[in-house]
Structure 1
Amino acid sequence: MRKIPVLLLGLLLSAAAARAQVDSVRASTLPPDQQAERLYNSGLAKFKQQSYRAAVLDFDKALAVKPDFARAYANRAAARYELKDYQPAVQDYDQAIKLEPNAFAAYFGKARAEEALQQPAEAEADYGRATERQADYAPAWYYRGALRFEKADYAAAKADFDAAIKADPSYAYAWHDRGSAQRRLGNLPAAIHDYSQALTLQPELLPALLNRAGTRRRAADLKGALQDYDAYLGKKQDNALAYTNRGATRYELKDYKGAVEDFGRAVALDAGYAFAWNNRAAAYLKLEDYKKAEADASKAISLNKDYAEAYLNRGHAREMLRQPDAACQDWRRAAELGLEVGLTHAANSGCP
Structure 2
Amino acid sequence: MAHYRKINRNRKRPFFSQRRRGLSGVPLALFAGTILGICITLLALTFFYYDEMQGAALSLLGWAPTPTLFPSQHAEQGLVLYNQGDIERALADFEQAIQQRPNDVAYLYEYGRVLIEADQYELARELGERAIVADPDDPRGYALKARSLIWSDPGSAIPVAVSGLERDANFAPLHASLAVAYTNIGRYAEGYQRGLRATQLDPLDPFAHRAFSIPLIYTGRSSEAIAALEQAVAINPNHTAAYFELAGQYRRQNYQEMAVGIYRRILELEPGNAKAYLRICQTYAEVGEFLEGSRYCETATEIDETYAPAWQYLGQLQYNRRNYESALDSLERCVALGSVAVECYYIRGLAYYFLDQCDTAWRVLQEALQLTSQPSIIAIINEGLSGIRANCPGYENVRLPTPI
Aligned ranges 1:152-167 → 2 under 5 Å: 152=184, 155=188, 156-167=190-201
From 156, 176, 195, give the equivalent of 1:145.
176
**CA contact 2:132–2:141 (8 Å) conserved in 1:** yes
Match of 2:382 in 1: 343
* 1:206 match: 240
The residue that corresponds to 1:111 in the other structure is 139
Once residues 176 and 261 of structure 1 are traced to their aligned partners in structure 2, the CA distance between those partners, rounded to angstroms, is 31
Quick check: 1:90 aligned with 2:129? Answer: no
Q: Which residue of 2 aligns with 1:41?
A: 44
Aligned to 1:298: 332
Taking the aligned partners of 1:342 and 1:312, their CA distance within structure 2 comes to 6
Deviations 1:63-122 (A, max 9, x none): xxxxxxxxxxxxxxxx9424658467526x5xxxxxxxxxxxxxxxx1113456789645
Is the CA contact 1:318–1:327 (under 8 Å) kept in the aligned structure 2? yes
Identity of matched residues, %: 18
- For residue 343 of structure 1, give the secondary structure of its aligned residue in structure 2: helix
Aligned mates of 1:267, 1:186 — CA distance in 2: 34
1:81 aligned to 105, 108, 111, which one? 105
Aligned residue type for 1:207: A
- Identify if the C-alpha distance between structure 1 residues 148 and 177 changes in structure 2 by more than 3 Å, giving closer, same or farther: closer
Which residue, out of 256, 270, 278, partners 1:222?
Answer: 256
Work out whether residues 164 and 174 of structure 2, in 8 Å CA contact, stay in contact via their aligned partners in 1: no
**Contact map agreement 2:175 2:198 (CA 8 A) in 1:** no
In our comparison, the structure showing a higher alpha carbon Rg is 2
- Aligned partner of 1:12 in structure 2 is none
**Pair 1:305–1:165, CA change in 2 (3 A):** closer
> Contact 2:139 / 2:167 at 8 angstroms: preserved in 1?
no
Q: CA deviation at 1:239?
A: 2.6
RMSD in angstroms over aligned alpha carbons?
4.0
In structure 2, the partner of 1:325 is 359
**Map of 1:261-340 to 2, 5 A cutoff?**
261-304=295-338, 306-338=340-372, 339-340=377-378
Tell me the alpha carbon deviations over residues 152-173 of structure 1, each in whole angstroms, 9 at most, x when there is no partner: 3564343233123234444443
Residues 1:29 and 1:279: Cα distance change in structure 2 (over 3 Å): closer
3-state SS, counterpart of residue 238 of structure 2: coil
When the two structures are superposed, what TM-score results if normalisation uses the length of structure 1? 0.65
- Give the counterpart letter for 2:165 in structure 1: Y
Q: 2: CA distance between counterparts of 1:224 and 1:162?
A: 26
Give, as a single letter, the amino acid of the residue that structure 2 aligns with 1:312: Y
Deviations 1:246-273 (A, max 9, x none): 2111111122122222222222333233
Is 2:280–2:293's contact at 8 Å kept on the other side of the alignment?
Answer: yes
SS in 1 for 2:356: coil
Counterpart code for 2:49: K
Structure 1 counterpart of 2:44, one-letter code: N
Q: State the shift of 1:280 in Å.
A: 0.7
Whole-Å separation in 2 of the counterparts to 1:273 and 1:53:
35
Q: Which residue of 1 is the match for residue 57 of structure 2? A: none
274-283 or 314-323: bigger deviation = 314-323
What letter matches 1:90 in structure 2?
D
Look up the equivalent residue of 1:274 and give its one-letter code: A
The 1:172/1:116 distance shift into structure 2, 3 A limit, reads closer
Q: Give the stretch that moved more between structures: 175-184 or 39-48.
A: 39-48
Q: Partner residue of 2:164?
A: 126
Give the number of aligned pairs: 282
Equivalent residues of 2:308, 2:337 under 8 A apart: yes
1-side partners of 2:167 and 2:227: how far apart? 31
Distance (Å, rounded) in 1 between the aligned partners of 2:145 and 2:322: 54
CA contact (8 A) 2:143 2:164 kept: no
CA pair 167-234 structure 1, distance change in 2 beyond 3 A? same
Q: Quick one: structure 1 residues 115 and 293, their matched pair in 2 at CA, closer, same or farther if it must change by over 3 Å?
A: same
TM-score, length of structure 2 as denominator length: 0.58
